[in-house]
């Protein structure tokens, strides 16, 4: 009787260990996608998704969705941060990113290739990621869409005519650019020192920028 019980427990334990094994192997493989507001991160991510089968997670889009979710306790806080071009505390952003990655991999663990767009934007974001995701996801590298502030501002103002975004106006944009220069650039430089950054000239046309992007993904997968 005892033997039967033990062997049953062992079989169960082994089965569940096997069940968990793929989760250990199939860790999320992540590209961080960074660049100023309007640099073309979202546009290029959509093209990468189409050609290379990645899942695009825009931190900004996730925050906007949370802001609009009925009953969200963070809605007002998120709106205030976004309008001021400031960066939302990482606990909120990371829980949204984590949930989105889990949801994506829940249906098929092989869906583990992610583009995380617009994150990490500052030291708080980076520390939060390292704290929470250390050992749970691999950051393959950073795609840095490099574009001068003037072009970024013009593109966002153009987008603002139809985007309905509360931060695509000149006042918010100047704050967003300031945040980008003061807080995000140092994060890109940090990854650069680790040899992890692909810098892409993002002031060109969408197709020319994507031609450069393809060279990276054709090599790295
Ligand atoms: N944001 C944030 N944390 C993030 C990503 C975005 O706080 O990790 C906020 C921030 O206020 C930013 C805004 O969301 O200015 C819009 O971000 P998004 O990436 O959508 O803007 P984009 O750079 O694509 O124009
Ligand atoms: Mg975007």
Give per-residue pLDDT as tens, 101-117. Answer: 999 999 899 999 999 99
Residue 193 vs residue 7, higher pLDDT:
193
> Binding residue per annotation — 87?
yes
The CA 102 to ligand 1 mean position distance, Å, reads 21
The residue whose CA has the least distance to atom 11 of ligand 1 is: 82
The residues, any chain, with a CB within 8 Å of residue 97's CB and separated by 6 or more, are 57, 59, 62, 116, 119
Separation of alpha carbons 80 and 101, rounded Å: 26
> Binding residue per annotation — 83?
no
pLDDT at 191 > cutoff 70: yes
Sheet holding 113-117, edge to edge: 55-58, 113-117, 29-35, 138-146, 197-201
The pLDDT value given to residue 220: 87
Separation of alpha carbons 177 and 63, rounded Å: 19
Q: Which domains does the chain have, with CATH numbers?
A: 33-220 (3.40.50.300)
The pLDDT value given to residue 136: 95
Strand partners for 153: none
pLDDT at 122 > cutoff 90: yes
Cis peptide before 37 (omega within 30 of 0): no
Separation of alpha carbons 206 and 5, rounded Å: 64
Average the pLDDT over 191-205 and give the result.
98
The CA 17 to ligand 2 mean position distance, Å, reads 40
Query: How do residues 8-62 score in pLDDT, each as one tens digit?
Result: 444 444 444 445 555 456 899 999 999 999 999 999 999 999 999 999 999 999 9
The CA 77 to ligand 1 mean position distance, Å, reads 14
pLDDT at 5 > cutoff 80: no
CB atoms near residue 6 (< 10 Å): 10
* Structure tokens that stand for 72 in this block: 């969200």
* Structure tokens that stand for 36 in this block: 């100023």
CB atoms near residue 17 (< 10 Å): 10
Q: Which of 59, 84, 94, 169 to mutate to test the pocket of ligand 1 (most atoms within 8 A of CB)?
A: 59
The pLDDT value given to residue 26: 86
Residues having C-beta closer than 5 Å to ion ligand 2: 42
Quote the pTM value.
0.89
Query: How do residues 54-83 score in pLDDT, each as one tens digit?
Result: 999 999 999 999 999 999 999 999 999 999
Position of tokens 């969408």? 206
Q: Which of 32, 43, 63 to mutate to test the pocket of ligand 1 (most atoms within 8 A of CB)?
A: 63
pLDDT at 175 > cutoff 80: yes
Separation of alpha carbons 92 and 25, rounded Å: 27
């Amino acid at each position: 009787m005892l033997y039967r019980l033990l062997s049953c427990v062992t079989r169960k334990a082994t089965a569940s260990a096997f069940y968990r094994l793929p989760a250990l192997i199939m860790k999320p493989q992540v590209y961080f996608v960074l660049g100023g507001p309007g640099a073309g991160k979202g546009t290029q991510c959509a093209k990468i998704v189409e050609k290379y089968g990645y899942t695009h997670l825009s931190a900004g889009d996730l925050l906007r969705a949370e802001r609009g979710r009925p009953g969200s306790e963070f809605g007002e806080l998120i709106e205030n941060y976004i309008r001021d071009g400031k960066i939302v505390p990482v606990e909120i952003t990371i829980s949204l990113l984590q949930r989105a990655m889990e949801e994506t991999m829940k249906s098929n663990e092989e869906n583990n290739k992610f583009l995380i767009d617009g994150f990490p934007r500052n030291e708080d974001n980076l520390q939060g990621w390292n704290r929470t995701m250390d050992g749970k996801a691999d950051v393959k590298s950073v795609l840095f869409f490099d574009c001068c502030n003037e072009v970024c501002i013009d593109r966002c103002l153009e987008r603002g005519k139809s985007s309905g975004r509360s931060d695509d106006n000149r006042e918010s944009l100047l704050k967003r650019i300031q945040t980008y220069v003061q807080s995000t650039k140092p994060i890109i430089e940090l990854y650069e020192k680790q040899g992890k950054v692909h810098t892409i000239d993002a002031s060109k046309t969408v197709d020319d920028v994507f031609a450069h992007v393809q060279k990276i993904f054709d090599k790295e997968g």
